[in-house]
Structures are given as C-alpha cells and as structure tokens.
Amino acid sequence: MKIGFVGLGKLGLPVGLAVESKGHEVRGYDPSPLVAEALRTRKTISQEAGADALLAKSHIQLTPAVEVLVEWSDLIFVAVQTPHEPEFGGETRVPAQRRDFDYRHLVAACSDLAAAIRASGVRPDVAVISTCLPGTMRREILPLFPYPIVYNPSFIAMGTTIQDFLESEMVLMGSDDPSALDRLVAFFGTVTPAPAYRTSVENAELAKVAYNTFIGLKLAFANTIMELCHALPGCDADGVLGALKLATRRVISTQYLSPGMGDGGACHPRDNIAMSHLARRVRLSYNLFDAVVESREQQTDWLAGLAADAHGRTGLPVVVLGEAYKPNSPLTFGSPAVLLANLLRERGVPTSSCDPVVRPGEPIPPGPAVFALATTHECFEGALFAPGSVVIDPWRRVRPQAGVTVVPVGRSPRP
C-alpha cells in the first residue's frame, strides 16, 4: 500500500520506518527543515533504537505539498504534535492550574489536509495518531473532513517507537464508519499481529490517555511501597513487590478492571484503612491509601447522589438491590452495597435493601421505586420492574423495559 504521513518528526518518521519495513511504500509531508535534514543525512531527529539503520536503507520521500501526498496515498496517518507548555511537562512542580494539550498544530495540519482532499476529489483513508483528550476529535477535527476518518493513537514510548509500534499490545481505533475501520484493520494485519480494538472515537481518545495514566498509577503505588519499606524495619521493596508480580490471576490481570461498585469483603476496605493509618504513622510523603479509601467512599456517595436525584424527581422510595459484597454470595462484610444504603439514609432518602441471596426468598418490591443495582446476583438478571420505576445500574446489565427509566451509569450518549 501507499502510506502517507502528515508529520515526519519524532513520532511520524519512526512509525513510517516501521511501516516501510513491512513492505509498504511511504511518503510524507512535513515543512520542518529538521525533517528534510534528517532524510538527507540519514540521521533521525531523536535517538530511536534501530531507526538510523532503517533510515540508511529507506526510500521514504518528502512530497513538496500536502496536495501531492493526498493524490498519491491510499492511507494517510496524521502524526502531528499536541504539546503542553514546558511547565506542564513534569520536569518541574505542576502548576495549580491544569491545562489541556495545545491542538493548534494538529488543527492546522488537518485543515490543510482536509482542504487538499476536498480539492482533489480522491478519498484516501485518514487516521490521526496524535494524543487528544476526549471530545477533541469530534469538536476540532472531524468537522474538517468531507467523510469519516479514524482516531488511531499509538501506544509507543520515545526511544523504542519502532519496536513498540510493530509489537504493540493492541491496535486501538475509533470511528463512526465501520468500513473505514475494516480497511485500517486490514492494513495493520500486514504490519503487526496485535489484536485490533474497535470502538467509538471518544472511547479511543480516553483509552489512550487512561492507558498512560494507569502506568503512572502503578508506579505511584510501587513507589509508595518503596517509601513504606524504607520506613519499616525488615521490609524490602523488591521483596514485597516481587510477591505481587506473581499474582497474575487478580493483581496483574484483567480482574477488578470492570467498573461498578467499589471493593468489599472482610479484607479489602479494612486493609486500605489500616494502610492509611500506617502511612500516617510513618509520615509518608503522600498517603496514597488515603486517596484509595476516600475515592471508594466518594464514588459510592456519587452513586447515592444519582439515586437521591431520581428520588427527588419522582418522589419514589429507593431500593438498593443487594447487600452482599460479591455476586451470588450471602457475605456482607465491608459491602459497598451496604455503604450505598447507609449514605442514602444519611441524605434523608427513604431507603430499603433487597437481597434474595442474603435473605433467601425475599422478593423484589412489586411497586414502582428507584432501584439501585448494587450487587450483580444472578437472581437480579432479567428482573422486571414496575412501570414508572427508575433503575440506577452501575454495571450496565439491565435491559430497557417499557415504562421503566434505566440509567446505565458509565455510558453517556454520543454528543
């Protein structure tokens, strides 16, 4: 295939070299003199492992104008920077005020590309790989183009871009056009064995930045353990985390990565609270366990607020479906479902709980109510609710029912 790149800088050129190494023709448009110099001297702008060796035998060419690239390409990747100001780079203390990325370069490049496409009459597939916060593509980029394009962020790290691109964990892509996704999947099948993950544009935007921040969260946790071990006699950070690295069924796995209610049981909440106490006692620089405890409570209170708002609108009582802390179990130790009911009562909302597993045979109240699905017992699957009811569903399991308002928490309508 003929693969074009708008932007052949620190990201675009290594990715272009990776694509070319798999037998595709690659050309690019980039007005930066640094890029022209890199192609002339066969030296990449950044120190990328393996890049200079590939560049030495590369046939990548610069086109004199984006219009020429459009006429030539089957698929065009937009690899234009979305920078932050230096004070937001992480090298200095973070300012109190936070700021979005700077999309001016990306918008300008996409504007020129879209104009060239409109003038040419051809329809190359277009995939933007620059990092954006959710909503940016639909607000700033998609309206520029005469047909749907794809958001396809890469999971790469500078210095190992080529290897990361060719050996990616997944190929993430979001678009409103299934056929555009089909064609991009077919292309990536020639480049990497990584599985393709198709989703909406907004989901792809959020998944990209969530991936990166999850890495930061893991490192923050590991460094918290390091600081604890530094303060506690006989403890060694490598020894503690070495044990956790073997926990590939729960800790290092896909488990506990499905949104719903917070953790529960006789161990998890109380252990977090105890670790929060320990962190205060040894005066950690930052008490991450406090944040975990508070986030669990505040997220449950946020769900209580959704049910309370529905009660306020309808005047209906609230019924929390479930008291157990995990499905199909009668155990209620540390249950976030019980916490939810207690937080609703704190708000003065008339609240009861229903759990046919904890109290066998207990029926779901037959009249209309605000139902909050707090435990995913099998007995709740397919339950029918009285017309006029509102169902708050943080698990997104309840199917639409006539006369019933179902609120699938965590699934917002497309803008």
Secondary structure percentages of the chain, helix, strand, coil, to 5: 40, 15, 45
Task: Please identify, in words, the CATH class of the domain defined by 2-200.
Answer: alpha beta
- Which regions of the chain are under pLDDT 70? 91
Number of C-beta neighbours around residue 313 at 10 A: 11
pLDDT of 229: 87
Q: Where are the domains of the chain?
A: 2-200, 295-408
Residue type, 261: M
Whole-angstrom distance, CA of residue 132 vs CA of residue 209:
8
Whole-angstrom distance, CA of residue 1 vs CA of residue 73:
8
Burial label, 366 (beta-carbon count in 10 A; 0-12, 13-18, 19+): exposed
Whole-angstrom distance, CA of residue 153 vs CA of residue 133:
11
Residues near 221 by beta carbon (within 8 Å), at least 6 away in sequence: 288
Strand order in the sheet with 2-6: 61-62, 25-29, 2-6, 75-78, 125-128, 150-151, 171-174, 196-199
Task: Please identify, in words, the CATH class of the domain defined by 295-408.
Answer: alpha beta
State the DSSP code for 271.
Answer: H
DSSP 190-240: TT--PPEEEE-HHHHHHHHHHHHHHHHHHHHHHHHHHHHHHHSTT--HHHH
Do residues 54 and 15 touch, judged by C-beta distance below 8 A? no
Do residues 261 and 300 touch, judged by C-beta distance below 8 A? yes
State the DSSP code for 261.
Answer: S
Whole-angstrom distance, CA of residue 394 vs CA of residue 373:
7
Whole-angstrom distance, CA of residue 415 vs CA of residue 139:
10
Q: Do the two domains 2-200 and 295-408 of this chain adopt the same fold?
A: yes
Residue type, 233: P
pLDDT of 91: 65
CA 347 to chain centre: 32
Which of 140, 147, 155, 152 lies closest to 109 in space, CA to CA? Answer: 140
